Structures are given as structure tokens and as C-alpha cells.
Amino acid sequence: MNGASLSFLIISLLFSVTAESSPCSINGMPLVRNISELPQSDYGRGGLSHITVAGSVLHGMREVEVWLQTFSPGSRTPIHMHSCEEIFIVLKGSGTLYLASSSHEKYPGKPQEYPIFSNSTFHIPVNDAHQLWNTNKNEDLQVLVIISRPPVKVFIYEDWFMPHTAAKLKFPYYWDQECFQTSLKDEL
């Protein structure tokens, strides 16, 4: 092997390792992956561990997105809503789902409380304000989450009686921020 061929091989190997290790690589997502090797973070939200298993921004998914989230005892999501369907599968632990089914009024209103537990599943309808809370004092709550229409645009509420018009849009969401790129406008 001559020097030019060896240099090309080394550069190609370095590029492929760098491309695979980048959390923003949408090209080359392997068919089979080890979840324990995927990037995870709390994204500045103490008590949360989030892994994007398959995402629109990170992996080029178009119709669905899959997350693995673990909440330590006492941790919770913010009160929020989004214009996508969301399915949860509780892998371990227990907690409480708060769901405001009157979200189509001027504000979410008093939510209904639903106990969730290992091997339970639940769905969040489009545009219904909700919050997931690990109310178990002794065990982590781990959920697999599937959302439609990614990437998710989230409206965050300070409380259940905050008007919808005052909710704060968070887009891109925490785990998409690093990799989200707006498309450039094609101007002549």
C-alpha cells in the first residue's frame, strides 16, 4: 500500500468514527444499535435521564420519534402540551399522570390524576395539557415514549390555570437544540 492510499484509508476511518460519534449525524444510523451506547443527558433538568432512541433531528425520522426517559423520585415534566400524539409505556416504577382534558378552553384547568405503574401504557391526545410525575419516593420511573409528527413543539405552562396564550413555546426542545438546523431560505 503506498503512502497516498494509506493516508486516504486513515482519513476515511477517522471521518467514519467522527461521523458515528456525532450526536447530530442523520446519515448512517445502523439498523441495530445498543441503547446503552446512545448519548444520554438530563439537559439541565435535574432528575431526568433522556435518550433519543430514534429521532427526527438526530436520525432523520419523519413520522415518529422514540425516547427512553428515566425520572428519579420526585422529578417530573413541566406542565405542557404539543400538537402530536404521544404514547407512553411504563417499563419500571410508578407515578402519576396529570391530564387536563379541558385543554380546549382558555386554560388547561384542574387535571385528572391517573396512577401509572410498571407494564402500564397510556396515550396523550393532541393538544391536551399534561404532566408526568414520579411520585414514588423509592424507585426511578422509566418510560418508553413514542411521539408523532416530530420534531415536537412544546408549550410550557407555569400552572394549570395559566392561559394558553401565555404558555411559552420551547422549540427546538432541549434534546434537539444542539442538532436542530433551520433550513436556509433560497433567495435569488
User: What's the pTM?
Assistant: 0.80
Amino acid 97: pLDDT: 98
Edge-first strand listing for the sheet containing 121-124: 48-54, 64-71, 141-148, 86-92, 121-124
Rg (CA), the chain: 20
Assigned CATH class of 35-176: mainly beta
Rounded to 5 degrees, what are φ and ψ at 110? Answer: -60, 125
Tens place of pLDDT per residue across the chain (188 aa): 555 543 443 334 333 333 344 567 655 577 788 989 888 999 888 999 999 999 888 888 889 999 999 999 999 999 999 999 999 999 999 999 999 976 678 999 999 999 999 999 999 999 999 999 999 999 999 999 999 999 989 999 999 999 999 999 998 777 777 787 654 444 44
Amino acid 181: pLDDT: 67
Amino acid 61: pLDDT: 85
E strands present in the chain: 48-54, 64-71, 79-82, 86-92, 94-100, 112-117, 121-124, 129-133, 141-148, 154-157, 168-170
Amino acid 16: pLDDT: 39
Annotated binding site, which residues? 80, 82, 86, 130
Annotated binding site for Zn(2+), which residues? 80, 82, 86, 130
What are the boundaries of each domain within the chain? 35-176
Q: Which amino acid is at 11?
A: I
Amino acid 103: pLDDT: 67
Amino acid 176: pLDDT: 78
Amino acid 180: pLDDT: 72
Amino acid 57: pLDDT: 85
